[in-house]
Amino acid sequence: MATVISHSPTETEAFGEQWGRVAQSGWVLGLSGDLGAGKTQLVKGVARGLGAVDRVHSPTFALINQYDSGRLPLFHLDLYRLDTREQIVGAGLEPYFYQPSGVTVVEWAERWFGKKPGFRVQDAAFPGHVCLILIEALGDTERRITYENFGA
């Protein structure tokens, strides 16, 4: 596991941008953190790193937003309104967790991958790259971002 400290929303976005610049098709980034922790801010950075020019916003009610203006499609999922894996599968979101044809970023990822802390992935093998990220508020603008990579 690795940890970085972000001192502002701009730094959180810049951290996400670093991931977006190196992201490859099939990557899944799972985000966990309380409301207002900065999950969507990090996704904005990933989108910018991919070269997307779309306005990124949380898909809380739509469940998924897709952005196609970057070098790879970005699938932005929000599982806040879904409580179980069965509901996630029922909503048709399961394919985005296994070799997406772009990059998938999932807010409230613990609802699919398992409860935080510890980032225990419930599936034994993922065919692609999975990175689980926990964002914790340390103050008004300061965030601890802890992440761990799984898979290829």
pLDDT in tens, 4-51: 999 999 999 999 999 999 999 999 999 999 999 999 999 999 999 999
Tell me how far apart the alpha carbons of residues 134 and 118 are, in angstroms, rounded to a whole number.
10
CA torsion sign for 21, 25, 29, 35 is positive
Residue 2 in tokens: 């690795």
Domains delineated in the chain = 2-151 (3.40.50.300)
Global pTM value: 0.89
Closest CA relative to residue 16, chosen from 54, 61, 60, 46: 46
pLDDT in tens, 94-134: 999 887 899 999 999 998 887 554 444 444 444 567 888 99
Query: Would you tell me how many other CB atoms lie within 10 Å of the CB of residue 139?
Result: 7
